[in-house]
């Protein structure tokens, strides 16, 4: 392998720049020519490809977003698109490719690998919803951003003795919501994997807690359930207690990456280059059982993971025994 390209694809995640920096500098340190592909697969098809030097990634490890930009690309789901992408790689001499993104982005890498481009995926998404790995770049920053925002909402919620519904990201996966729920001591956590739409239970819960003297009631709601504004109105009507919704939105995707995101991104990015240079292709870098490993993309895409029942149950027990000791 003489030339390695790197791209970011799908939703951006804090730490992607640290991963790009690691890929570029690791490649350069091993004598490889490095190319940056702008705007994901979409830029690849349009040949938006630039040379990357060590200086180009200076002072980027601490930056949010992705200096290579990102986009979603429906064309890459078609055989024609995939063929086009492989041709562009070959035209530009890119014989190794590192794709930083989620499951959808890995599917693209898989196709390119089938078409002869050595491709490796690095897991980057704030949703933590890639089954093959215990960690995905961006989750730690996003969950801290959300948690800190919720700490602030809680201050004012308590001062006004309000109910607050805070909607965090996560269309299909409730990891962000569950972690925030535990870390913010939320009274209710609504997860796409588990929510039964029994709003009356929440309402009863609020009324019970208020009787026992609780000054606030925090509900963490995942984006996949959504409708936080309407829920707030219904809860206020049913309980008579002022209820407000906050949708944290895109701020969860940005910001200076945490130490964990910078470190995992650096190691994963470097490892992606290392395994390409070992002659591997169609692999994903994973963090499993306390180690950085690589795994076949097909195998990775076939895996499933779910929310820990134990953690969910613990979370509930830690925020609902307030009264016991007051009695």
Residues with a catalytic annotation lie at 127
CA dihedral of 187, 252, 307, 220, whole degrees rounded to 10: 20
C-alpha distances (whole Å) from 88 to each of 67, 82, 124, 203 are 21, 10, 24, 57
From candidates 35, 262, 282, 283, binder to a copy of itself by CB under 8 A: 262
Site residues for a copy of itself, window 131-170 (CB under 8 A)? 134, 140, 143-145, 147-161, 164
Residues 6+ apart with CB under 8 A from 164: 153, 154, 157, 216, 217, 218, 219, 243, 244, 245, 246
Is residue 189 within 8 A of residue 178, CB to CB? The reply is yes
Question: Taking CB under 8 A as the rule, does residue 263 contact a copy of itself?
Answer: yes
Residue 21 or 111 having the CB closest to a copy of itself? 21
Question: Taking CB under 8 A as the rule, does residue 217 contact a copy of itself?
Answer: no
Select from 41-49, 73-81, 117-125, 253-261 the region that touches a copy of itself (CB under 8 A).
Answer: 253-261
Question: Taking CB under 8 A as the rule, does residue 2 contact a copy of itself?
Answer: no
CB of residue 320 to a copy of itself, shortest distance in Å: 7
Question: Taking CB under 8 A as the rule, does residue 28 contact a copy of itself?
Answer: yes
Q: How far apart are CA 29 and CA 26, in angstroms?
A: 5
Question: Taking CB under 8 A as the rule, does residue 280 contact a copy of itself?
Answer: no
Question: Taking CB under 8 A as the rule, does residue 290 contact a copy of itself?
Answer: yes
Question: Taking CB under 8 A as the rule, does residue 238 contact a copy of itself?
Answer: no
For 91: left if phi > 0, alpha if psi spans -120 to 50, otherwise beta; the answer is: alpha
Question: Taking CB under 8 A as the rule, does residue 230 contact a copy of itself?
Answer: no
CB of residue 201 to a copy of itself, shortest distance in Å: 18
Question: Taking CB under 8 A as the rule, does residue 317 contact a copy of itself?
Answer: yes
Number of Cβ atoms within 10 Å of the Cβ of 33: 15
Q: How far apart are CA 76 and CA 99, in angstroms?
A: 13
Residue 119 or 126 having the CB closest to a copy of itself? 126
Strands of 90-152, DSSP E: 96-101, 118-123
């Amino acid at each position: 392998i003489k030339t390695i390209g790197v791209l970011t694809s799908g939703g951006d995640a804090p730490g992607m720049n640290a991963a790009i920096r690691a890929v570029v500098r690791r490649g350069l340190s091993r004598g490889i020519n490095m190319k940056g592909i702008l705007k994901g697969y979409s830029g690849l098809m349009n040949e938006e490809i630039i040379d990357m030097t060590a200086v180009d990634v200076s002072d980027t490890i601490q930056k949010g977003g992705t200096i290579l930009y990102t986009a979603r690309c429906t064309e890459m789901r078609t055989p024609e698109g995939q063929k086009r992408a492989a041709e562009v790689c070959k035209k530009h001499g890119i014989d190794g490719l590192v794709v930083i993104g989620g499951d959808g982005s890995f599917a693209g890498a898989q196709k390119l690998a089938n078409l002869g481009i050595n491709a490796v995926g690095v897991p980057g998404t704030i949703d933590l919803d890639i089954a093959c790995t215990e960690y995905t770049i961006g989750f730690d920053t996003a969950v801290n951003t959300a948690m800190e925002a919720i700490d602030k909402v809680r201050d004012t919620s308590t001062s006004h003795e309000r109910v607050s519904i805070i909607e965090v990201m996560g269309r299909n996966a409730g990891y962000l919501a569950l972690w925030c729920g535990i870390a913010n001591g939320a009274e209710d956590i609504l997860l796409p994997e588990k929510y039964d739409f029994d709003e009356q239970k929440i309402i009863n819960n609020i009324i019970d807690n208020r009787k026992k003297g609780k000054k606030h009631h925090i509900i963490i709601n995942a984006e996949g359930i959504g409708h936080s504004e309407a829920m707030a109105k219904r809860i206020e009507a049913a309980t008579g207690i002022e209820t407000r919704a906050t949708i944290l939105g895109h701020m969860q995707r940005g910001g200076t990456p945490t130490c964990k995101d910078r470190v995992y991104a650096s190691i994963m990015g470097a490892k992606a280059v290392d395994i390409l240079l070992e002659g591997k292709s169609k692999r994903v870098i994973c963090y499993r059982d306390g180690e950085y490993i690589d795994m076949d993309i097909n195998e990775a895409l076939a895996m499933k993971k779910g929310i820990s029942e134990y953690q969910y149950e613990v979370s509930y027990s830690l925020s609902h025994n307030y009264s016991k000791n007051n009695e």
